[in-house]
Amino acid sequence: MATRILRRTGVSNEICERLKRREIESCKDLLSLTPVEVMNAAGLSYEKASVLLQSVSKAIAPPFTTLFWQALELWKQHSDSCFSTSLPALDKLLRGGLPRGTITEVTGPSGCGKTQMCLMLSVLATLPKSEGGLDSSVIYIDTESAFSAERLVEIARSRFPGYFSSKERVLQMAARVHLFRELTCQDVLNRLERLEEDIISTGAGLIILDSVASVVRKEFDTTLPGNLIHRSNLLSHEATTLKYLAHQFNIPVVLTNQITTHVGDQGSAVSAEVDSSFVTAALGNTWSHSVNTRLIVQYVDAHQRQILIAKSPVAPFAVLNYTIQKQGICIDGCVISHLLSMECYSGVRVHRAESSCCSVFPAHIHLLQKKRRDTLGWKQISSHSESGSL
Amino acid sequence: MLGYVSWRDVLKKLTLAVTMQRPVSSLPLSPGMKLKLVGAGFQSTADLILLKPLQLSKETGLSQQEALEVLQAVRKDGGGGEGSTSLTALELLQKEEETRSIITFSSQLDAALGGGLPVGKTTEICGAPGVGKTQLCLQLAVDVQVPQCFGGVGGQVIYIDTEGSFLLQRVIDVATAAVRHCSLLVEDDEQRAAMMTFTMETILSNIFLVRCHDYVELLAELHLLPDFLSDHPRTRLLVIDSVAFPFRRFDDLSQRTRLLQGLAQQLVAMATRHQVAVVITNQMTTRLQGNQSQLVPALGEGWGHAPTIRLLLQWAGSRRLASIFKSPGNVDATVQYRITSDGFRDADQSEQPQRKRPRTQTDQSASSQPDRRLLRCLSDV
């Protein structure tokens, strides 16, 4: 909208010519100027410059609607505002599922089940509405080459044996998942710029980007000066594009992220048994603002895993236990508790960070941190991940 | 030739010219006209006072229409330009006592703010992701519609969403809870009648939602807002959630600063002229100082001057705290709050009982404090 050419908004040719000489051709260029600059560029008096700005604004500003009409529209179309994840406990907490038109992030350590979750959601999206799906294609942007078509088929066959009993249905489902392999940041950005056309041509109802963090962390070394700003700019650009697409087409967007260790302040008075660092989602604080819903997956021990709802406009903090089976993700029974204080987290030790800086997450949302690498060791977990997941 | 002009007129104009002289380049005219005026030798408005349009056009080469425009601009400036009327502080005090504040349904925060968010001023809410900024904005969007006999403002709200975090379902939850609260408080017929106007349908129809995808759409929307506010005089709240998101990927920081200053000026002008409370949400950014990193509000130091009141929402362990860290009329304070399924509420129920709250000497009719009955009921729930 902002790149609309001035000539098309009804501005007179003479003024367009004058502005063109100063290289002001689109609405974006004009509205980025102050009124005095507009006066100088267009050669108009103050009042006329204000009128010009008003008319150009009218051409590109999005319209006002009252919520009442929006609610009525939603009710008339019988459209759901959520994408059900087929995990009833999670859906109940999220009041229906992953909200459409917003960005949902799944973050966690490697091998925990993020790609499994993405594969499972891809299968769900292709199911017809009667089975709880979106009946649409899926756009899967893969940056780590972790996508496996065999696993997709296995999940489909195990989770919905009744529906995928015949081979054509399986092949039909597989044909609806469109995979794009992008291995550099610039490739990802180019793909996102062109995604609008892809969404329309494939009739996509779900966008999955797995993972955002891997390309960015490979290419940007944040210890070098200036790289942090570039990285933030790139991520903001990606976030803005994805939000725009999600909103315009009213589809859910799912991203995966990695985790990083946040080193606490060395100088603060820290008691001996509490570590001063904690793990949080990668990509920084700015990125945390950009996602609308954040789900954290983590290990409890070698066999148990958990999914936490860390940021959501409708759900409180909550923890669910799950395991990864042949049919994808299975949630065991009930919610542990709604986390209000650390004591609720019974039976599991949580290391609390005592850092002096204002923490991005509340302390009890910090991921479990292994104090010494050999207890429960990363080695054990990595072998588990090689066998159990992809 | 001047023609016949009375000496009295000339004296009057000369006096005005001496007291109010402006250089020609500062007049609100197009640059082409100013060039011609300066080229013909007119340096200040004093030179133009005694002229008629025809003579001006002959001397400068402007068309008759343009010459008339120049003289009108000069006259408007020199003649009636005493500036805006001045107010005494007493009149302002009376005006301030009449305007109500927008309650937040958290009585501790309302008490710290002196009644709630003031109408006619800009307030900024900043905080880490997930701490509750959007929740507070949604709560305010419902609270501004509470009828006046319950202690509210009874106005409409414009909600500009730049992040896509506005969810209809959540507004419905918050509105249901608010309607339930107020219907428990109904005591007389006036309030019963007012409850008819405070239902789910009316609440939803009084919220105007706009979704802006980038900073250009946001600026365009703000250019159009003054007209919208004149058409809808009942609007009492403008929420921009958030103002930081569209401005975070700017390469040219000086342009960003200029645009933000312009935006801030427009918001302040709208707040005072149309008696609207402007609420802006800001994000936090990491600032590196040597080895330490600190979270500070985004958009730079200069932006901090724009809003009148600044609230910081943060975590302390597992508690949520709201701090006022810039306010000309209130002491800096920190209160605890929580987010429930009903919306933004006080943290615990064991707050001080009603009688210990300091009494102010304002009377009920012109009070800027929220209605005591509403406060009492909130602390009971």
Closest CA–CA distance from residue B306 to any residue of chain A (Å): 17
Cα A250 to Cα A91, A101, A189, B243, distances in angstroms = 19, 4, 21, 23
pLDDT digits (tens, 9 = 90+) for B316-359: 877 889 999 888 888 888 999 988 888 888 887 543 333 333 43
In a mutagenesis test of the A interface, which of B318, B345, B348 is the best target, namely the one with the most A β-carbons within 10 Å?
Answer: B318
DSSP of A17-67: HHHHHTT--BHHHHHTS-HHHHHHHHT--HHHHHHHHHHHHHHHSPPPEEH
CA A59, CA A163: separation in Å to the nearest integer?
A: 49
Asked whether the predicted pLDDT for residue A252 surpasses 90, the reply is yes
Say which residue, B309 or B185, is predicted with more confidence.
Answer: B309
**ipTM strictly over 0.95?**
no
Distances from the Cα of B313 to the Cαs of A259, A265, A298, in angstroms?
25, 22, 27
Q: Please give the pLDDT value at position A145.
A: 87
Instruction: Name the nearest CA neighbour of A143 among A162, A115, A117.
Output: A115
Strand partners, A308: A296, A319
Mean pLDDT of B218-233: 91
Averaged confidence pLDDT in chain B: 81
Contact B106, B117 (CB under 8 A): no
What share of chain A in percent tops pLDDT 90? 24
Name which of A73, A208, A267, A357 is nearest B296 in CA terms: A357
Query: How do residues A260-269 score in pLDDT, each as one tens digit?
Result: 876 654 444 4
How does DSSP classify residue A203?
Answer: T
Contact between B277 and B117 (Cβ < 8 Å):
yes
Nearest Cα to B367, choosing from B375, B379, B378? Answer: B375
Do residues B207 and A67 lie in contact, with contact meaning Cβ atoms separated by under 8 Å?
yes
Which residues on chain B are in Cβ contact (under 8 Å) with A101? 164
**B242, B282 in Cβ contact below 8 A?**
yes
SS3 content of chain B, % helix, strand, coil (to 5): 45, 20, 35
pLDDT digits (tens, 9 = 90+) for B240-277: 988 999 988 777 888 888 889 889 999 999 998 999 99
Count CB atoms within 10 A of the CB of residue A65.
14
In sequence order, the β-bridge partners of residue B334 are B323
The bridge status of strand A253-257 relative to strand A305-311 is unpaired
Which of B59, B54, B55, B64 is closest to B36 using CA atoms? B59
How far apart are alpha carbons A91 and A327 in whole angstroms? 18
**Does the structure show a pLDDT above 90 at A253?**
yes
Q: Do B209 and A66 touch (CB under 8 A)?
A: yes
Q: Is B301 left (phi over 0), alpha (psi -120 to 50) or beta?
A: alpha
Rg (CA), chain B: 26
Topology of domain B89-379 in CATH is Rossmann fold (3.40.50)
CB contact (8 A) between residue B130 and residue A361: yes
CA distance B322 to B315: 9
Any idea which fold B22-80 has?
Answer: DNA polymerase; domain 1 (1.10.150)
Please indicate if any CB of chain B lies within 8 Å of the CB of A65.
Answer: yes
Q: Is 70 exceeded by the pLDDT of residue B25? A: yes
DSSP B65-117: HHHHHHHHHHHHHHTS-S-SPP--HHHHHHHHHHS-EE--S-HHHHHHTTSSE
C-alpha–C-alpha distance, residues A296 and A191, integer Å: 26
Q: Among A39, A92, A358, A365, pick the best mutation site for testing chain B contact (most B Cβ within 10 A).
A: A358
Contact A99, A290 (CB under 8 A): no
B29 interfacial to chain A (CB closer than 8 Å): yes
Looking at residue A78, its pLDDT comes to 55
Which class is domain A80-333? alpha beta
Which part of chain B is CATH 1.10.150.20? 22-80
| Among the partner residues A68, A266, A288, nearest to B201 by beta-carbon distance | A68
User: What is the reported pLDDT for B5?
Assistant: 64
Phi, psi (deg, nearest 5) at residue A337? -170, 165
* Range of A69-83, B118-132, B279-293 with top mean pLDDT: B118-132
Read off the tokens for B21: 């002289």
Helix B372-380 × helix B168-184 angle, to 10°: 110
Distance CA B370, CA B101 (A): 7
On chain B, the residues whose CB falls within 8 A of the CB of A313 are 134-135, 165, 167, 170
Average pLDDT, rounded, for chain A: 78
For residue A272, is pLDDT > 50?
Answer: no
Q: Which residue in B has a C-alpha nearest to residue A284's C-alpha?
A: B286
CB interface of A with B, residues 118-177, below 8 Å: none
Q: What is the pLDDT of residue A352?
A: 33
Q: Which of A40-54, A143-157, A232-246, B79-93 has the lowest mean pLDDT?
A: B79-93
Strand B207-211, strand B292-297: pairing: unpaired
The residue written with tokens 């954040």 in the block is: A294
Do the chains contact at A285 and B129, CB–CB below 8 Å? yes
Beta-carbon contacts of residue B82 (< 8 Å; ≥ 6 apart): none
Return all residues near B204 (Cβ < 8 A) that are at least 6 apart: A66, A67, A68, A71, B171, B172, B175
Cβ pair A93, A229 in contact under 8 A: no
> CB of A369 within 8 A of CB of A275?
yes
Angle between helix axes A46-60 and A35-42 (nearest 10 degrees) is: 100
Whether A56 shows a pLDDT value over 50: the answer reads: yes
Rounded Cα gap, residues B152 and A134, in angstroms? 43
- Kindly determine whether residue A45 and residue B28, on different chains, have CB atoms separated by under 8 Å: yes
Residue B29 makes CB contacts below 8 A (sequence gap 6+) with A45, A46, B69, B70, B73
Q: Whose CA is closest to A372, among A349, A390, A343? A: A349
Question: Does residue A344 have a pLDDT over 80?
Answer: no
The letter for the amino acid at A185 is C
Closest CB to A233: pick one of B32, B249, B262. Answer: B249
The shortest C-alpha distance from B90 to chain A (Å) reads 35
CA nearest neighbour of A106 among A297, A245, A291, A253: A297
Nearest residue to A325 (alpha-carbon basis) of A145, A151, A69, A73: A151
Q: What backbone torsions phi and psi does residue B29 show, to the nearest 5 degrees? A: -115, 170
What stretch of H or E contains B378?
A: helix B372-380
